[in-house]
Each structure stands twice: as structure tokens, then as C-alpha cells.
Amino acid sequence: MKRRGPLKELWNSTEGRFSLVVISGLVILAIFAGWIAPYDPYDITQRTFPLQPPSTRHLLGTDGFGIDVLSQIIYGARVSLTIGVLVGVGVAAIGGFIGALAATYGGISDTLSMRTVDFIMVLPGLPIMIMIMTTIGSSFWVMVMIFIMFGWAGTARVTRAIVLVEKSRGYVDAARCAGASKMYVLMKHLLPATYSILFVTAAFAAGGAILAEAGLAFLGFGDPKLVSWGKMLNFARTYNAMILGAWWWIIFPGVAVFLASFSIMMMGIALEKTFNPRLRERDR
């Protein structure tokens, strides 16, 4: 099949089109939140009566403090998307590099890193994150670091497997015979072979990070200075939104989390299909 530009190919699959539309919509919301949002959730003077149901003035109602829910969701996109992007990139970069390194050099560095990967994969993630955040404090950057710390393992394992396969191909031997060093082969031949899979794992890591951020913020470990979807749900729970009948305060932030995470993971699936056409036959 003739290959076109990657964006065009993405656009041609249903999943790709859906995810591109939703993600670009969310990105626009996040960047231009100041212009798009009807109210500024950080501005105390713009608060009105609490717990108003959805109406024309407040499309998604107001929460228990009288803050417009829709505006909070628009501003909350900033936190979720930045965390998703940072964690996705971090996981792909660190995991990809360690995995490729382990596969090219082998020996003790391979066993050591893969034992670490096995260990991280079975650890109880959330309790350890809570323990770390209780001791060193919860802020945006701590959260990003922790997510990368737990996320790189899976990517490293996948990358290592791919590099191992690639390493046994003839052209690598040829390069080695021509006098290329291991590092040169790694940077020039082996790492590029993993790029496609790294994009896919980055997408999944980003989706997972958005969910994890929502979960931690829901438990009260979000950055105290930022409006985020998880934090809205946290307040909704602690201020008994359910008993007060404020369903809009519970449902809409969750839908936002789902949409963001879902569209990014969908992007991962679409990328996987364009990079690996053989999958198409199996799992259409």
C-alpha cells in the first residue's frame, strides 16, 4: 500500500478522525480558556449562588461554592492535558532509552534493568504514590515525576523486545562489520525502529496519566493551587453533592476525564493500526 503522510493516514481511520477532533478541541479549550470560559473560576468576585442546576446562564450549573462548572471544566483541561503530554513524553523517552540500552548492551545492565521493570510493574502504585506525596508534599511537578517513575517500566519492556528482534537483522550486522560502534548502531538504527511503538505507548501513558491525576486529585492530593477535574469531584464528594441532589457537579467532570483519556487512547489505537497494518486483519 502506498504510504501517505502520517496525519492524513490517521485522518482516514474512524478512530483517528475522532481522536484528532476531540484532542484538538480540548487543546483549543485549554489554551484559550481565558477567552472561551464564560467565567473565571480563579476569580472570587465571579462567584454566584451555589448549587444552581444547569441553565442558560450556567450551562452546566454551579458547584457548592457558586463557581460555574463549565468554566472549571474548561480551565481543568489545562492541568489534565499538560500532565498527559509531559508524562507521555517522559515515559516514552526514559522507557524507550532504557529498554533500547538494555537490549543493545545485554549482560548485567540488561538483567538489572529488567529486574527493576518486573519489580515496578507489580508494585501497588497508588498507595506508594500517596506515601511519597504525603512525605514530600503534593504539587504538579511531584505528580509528573511520580507518574513517569511508575510508567517507564512497561515501555522499557516493549522497546527492549523490539530492539532484540531488530538487532538480529542483517543490516545491523552489516553496520557492525563496517566498524560502527554499539552506541552508533543504537542511535542510528535501533532507536528509529522503535519510534512507532514509542508513539503508541506514549499515547497510552498519557491517557493513563490523565486518569491517575484525576484519581489522586479526587483523594485530595492534587496541586492545591490549580483547578482540575479530579479536584472538582473531590469537592463534590466532601461537600455531599449527591445528597444535595447536585448531579451535574458529579457527572460532568467525570465525563471530561473520560473524554480526554478516551480520545488519547483512541489515538494510540489509531497510530498502532497505521504503523502495524497486519494488526488490521486480526482486530478489525
Closer CB to other proteins, 51 or 128, in the complex: 128
Chosen residue from 91, 214, 267, 271 binding other proteins by CB under 8 A: 214
Residues 41/68, Cβ–Cβ less than 8 Å: yes
Contact of 237 with 218, CB cutoff 8 Å: yes
Residue 65 sits in the site that holds other proteins (CB under 8 A): no
CB of 209 to other proteins, least distance (A): 12
Alpha-carbon distances of 86 from 52, 99, 126, 279, rounded to whole Å:
36, 19, 19, 28
119 is an interface residue for other proteins by CB under 8 A:
yes
Tell me which stretch binds other proteins (CB under 8 A): 45-53, 79-87, 187-195, 250-258: 250-258
User: In this complex, which beta carbon is closest to other proteins, that of residue 175 or of residue 226?
Assistant: 226
The yes or no reply on residue 244 touching other proteins (CB under 8 A) is no
Helix (H, G, I), strand (E, B) or coil at 62: strand
- Shortest separation between residue 204's beta carbon and other proteins, angstroms: 9
* The Cα angle at residue 72 between residues 71 and 77, in degrees rounded to 5: 100
**Residue owning grid cell 489554551:** 31
Rounded CA separation 47/174 (Å): 69
Residues 120-179 that bind other proteins (CB under 8 A): 121-128, 130-136
> Which SS3 state, helix, strand or coil, does residue 251 take?
helix
In angstroms, how far is CA 148 from the centroid of its own chain? Answer: 10
User: Segment contacting other proteins (CB under 8 A): 55-63, 66-74, 93-101, 241-249?
Assistant: 241-249
Nearer to other proteins, 174 or 279 (CB): 279
Per-residue binder mask for other proteins (CB under 8 A), 188-207, x = binder: -------------------x
Total chain residues near other proteins (CB under 8 A): 40
232 binds other proteins per the rule CB under 8 A: no
Distance CA 144, CA 9 (A): 31
Residue 248 Cα to chain centre, angstroms: 25
Pick between residue 63 and residue 172 the one whose CB is nearest to other proteins: 63
Q: Rounded to whole angstroms, how far apart are CA atoms 199 and 273?
A: 12
Spatial CA neighbour of 104 closest among 61, 54, 162: 162
Judged by the rule CB under 8 A, the positions of this chain that interact with other proteins are 119, 121-128, 130-136, 207, 211, 214-215, 218-220, 233, 237, 242-243, 247, 250-251, 254, 257-258, 261-262, 265, 269, 282-284
